[in-house]
Amino acid sequence: MLIKLAGTFILLSVLAVGGGTAVLHEMQEVLLAEFGIGPDVFVKTYGIGQLAPGPNMTMVTLLGIQIAGAIGAVVAGLAFFVPSSVLCLCVGRIWSRIGETPWRRAVQNGFEPISIGLMGSGVYAVGKTALLGPITVALAILSFGLIMRGRANPMLVILGLGSLGGLLAYLLPLWR
């Protein structure tokens, strides 16, 4: 199982053009098919990853724990972060040697919309599980607005609106 876990996260790592968010949809689909990680667990794990210090994709270690215990966390973390880091280092060195050339700009221009599309699919993958009614949609829009205005600390937005959402879910039959 550890080899399968490593292979899964290595593949996701090298596909993560534009960051880990770009492979959220694929990650959710693969983890469900290969390891039985359901959408609810995936979204909750993603939420915890947003709160944890460091990269939000540290959620892969939590997923690794759920799949194969503590060793699964180590395997998933290394398999997800090492390949993309090595790839970034190698491409970065080549990129800096190329300098500002028309060819380099063309490649960057080509990858930018692909990255945005992949990130959008990640947002959709999480959103279709998390946005279950008008109140959850309103909380999502409110958090987006607060973050986009640039005046709110993202962690405070997550904690504040998450607490509000939890309270509303407790008081009202919103989600289920």
Q: What is the DSSP letter of 53?
A: S
* Mean per-residue pLDDT, 30-43: 93
Answer for the pair 109, 12: CB distance below 8 angstroms, yes or no: no
pLDDT above 90: residue 83: yes
- Cα separation of 175 and 134, whole Å? 10
2-21: pLDDT as tens digits: 999 999 999 999 888 767 88
- Who has greater pLDDT, 69 or 53? 69
119-170: pLDDT as tens digits: 888 788 888 878 888 888 999 999 999 999 887 888 889 889 989 988 988 8
- Per DSSP, the three-state class of 72 is helix
- Cα separation of 107 and 26, whole Å? 24
Percent of the chain with pLDDT over 90: 43
- List the Cα angle 63/65/67 in 5-degree steps: 70
Q: How confident is the model at residue 66 (pLDDT cuts 50, 70, 90)?
A: very high
What's the mean per-residue pLDDT of the chain? 88
pLDDT above 80: residue 175: no
pLDDT above 90: residue 35: yes
Answer for the pair 85, 13: CB distance below 8 angstroms, yes or no: no
Query: Residues 6 or more apart from 31 whose CB is under 8 A from it?
Result: 8, 37, 42, 63, 67
pLDDT at 37: 95
Q: What is the 3-state secondary structure (H, E, C) of 75-118?
A: HHHHHHHHHHHHHHHHHHHHHHHHCCCHHHHHHHHHHHHHHHHH
- Per DSSP, the three-state class of 30 is helix
- Cα separation of 132 and 115, whole Å? 27
pLDDT at 170: 86
Tokens (6 digits) for 129: 């599980």
CA atoms within 13 A on the CB side of 119: 11
pLDDT at 53: 76
